[in-house]
Amino acid sequence: MQPLIRTNDLMDRLGREPRPTVLDVRWSLLGPPGRQDYERGHLPGAVFVDLDTELAAPPGPAGRHPLPDPEALEAVLRRAGVDQDRPVVVYDADNGSAAARAWWLLRWAGHREVAVLDGGYAAWLDAGLTTEVAVPSPAPGDLRVRPGSMPVLDADAAAELAREGSLLDARAPERYRGEVEPVDPRPGHVPGAVNAPFAEHVDERGRWRSPADLAARFADLGVRPGEPVGAYCGSGITASSVVLALEHAGVTSADRPAPLYAGSWSHWSADPARPAATGRERG
C-alpha cells in the first residue's frame, strides 16, 4: 500500500471488501483538542484516536510524546477496530503532519497496509463527500503490536547521523534557528541538522507535493538516495511526516525507511550537556 491515498480512491475502497479501518487523528500543538472537531463531523465510520494520550506515552524524560507502551497501543488500536490484515487509513485536518504519526506508529507496530488521506478532512469536504456525527462502535480488532518494525534513533545516534549523513529537522525555520521556542526547555537545533520544515511537503491546500517535487526538494537539502537520512522535530510528531515524505519521494522505501528520533528536540534539549546550535546554517 502506498503511504498516501486520495479521496476518490478511499471512497472506492470504502465500498468494497476488505473495507479499510479509518482513524481520525486531528490534532494541533497548542489545541484545541481534536476530539471537538471529530464530534462536529468526521468521515463515515471513522474512529477518533487521541494523539496526546493514546498515540504517545505520558510526557517525561523521553520527551513530550514518547513512544507508547506496546501493550497500551495494542489495546487502543484494537478498540478502534484495527485488524492485522485489514488496511488502515488515517487522516487529520489537512496537511498530514499529525496523521503521519499514526501512520508511522502503525508501521512501527508491524502493520504494513497503512495510508494517510492526502489533504485530510479538508480534502474530503472539498470533494463534497458525506460526513457524519454519529460515533461508531466497531468490533474489536485483532492487531498484534510487534514494536520495532520502523527504525528509531536515540540522541547519540541522531548526533552521529547529523555528522555523517542527513538529519532533517521538521520544525518551522524560526524554531530551527533558535529565534523562538514555545514549548521545549531551550531553543536551537541538533548541531549538523538540516532544516526541512514539514509545511513544505504540501501545497497551500494541504495536498502533498508530487514525488518528483519532493525528491528535488530533498536533493536541494543534500539528501541523496542510498545515503543515511533520518528525521526529528519537536517531539516526534511532525518528523513522522518527513519519514513519509522521503518514502513518497522514493528517496527511501517501505523496506528501508528513514529512522525517526522519537524523543526529538523535547528530549535533546532537556539535557544541558547536549549542545544546541542556532542560526540558519547547518551547524
Domains and CATH numbers, the chain: 4-126 (3.40.250.10), 152-268 (3.40.250.10)
| Rounded Cα–Cα distance for residues 154 and 160 (Å) | 10
CA 183 from centroid of its chain's CA atoms: 19
Model confidence at 283: pLDDT above 60: no
For the record, the C-alpha cell of 235 comes out as 517531539
pLDDT value of residue 226: 84
Output Rg (C-alpha) for the chain, integer angstroms.
18
Mean pLDDT score of the chain, rounded to an integer?
96
How many other CB atoms sit within 10 Å of the CB of residue 11?
15
Give the integer Cα–Cα distance in Å for 269 and 263. 10
Per-residue pLDDT of 109-157, as tens digits, reads 999 999 999 999 999 999 999 999 999 999 999 999 999 999 999 999 9
CA 252, 255, 261, 262 torsion-angle sign: positive
State the pLDDT at residue 18.
93
**Which residue in 230, 37, 52 sits closest to 122, CA to CA?**
37
What is the pLDDT, as a whole number, of residue 282?
Answer: 66
Rounded average pLDDT over 50-72: 97
Place 281 in a pLDDT band, splitting at 50, 70 and 90.
low
Which candidate in 10, 190, 233, 260 is catalytic?
A: 233
Whole-angstrom Cα distance, residue 184 to residue 116? Answer: 28
What pTM was estimated for this model as a whole?
0.96
b/e per residue 250-281 (b: at least 16 CB within 10 A):
ebbeeeebbbbbbbbbbbbbbeeebebbeeee
CA dihedral 99, 101, 106, 109 (to 10 degrees): -170
Catalytic site residue 233?
yes
**Helix locations, 15-66, DSSP H:** 34-40
pLDDT at 33: 87
The pLDDT tens digits for 33-59 are: 899 999 999 999 999 999 999 999 999
Distance, in Å, from the CA atom of 46 to the CA atom of 228, rounded to the nearest integer, reads 36
> What pLDDT does 29 receive?
82
Q: What digits encode the pLDDT tens for the residues 163-220? A: 999 999 999 999 999 999 999 999 999 999 999 999 999 999 999 999 999 999 999 9
Q: What ranges in the chain are assigned the alpha helix state H?
A: 7-14, 34-40, 70-79, 99-108, 120-126, 155-164, 173-176, 211-220, 239-248, 264-268
pLDDT tens, residue by residue, 236-279: 999 999 999 999 999 999 999 999 999 999 999 999 999 999 99
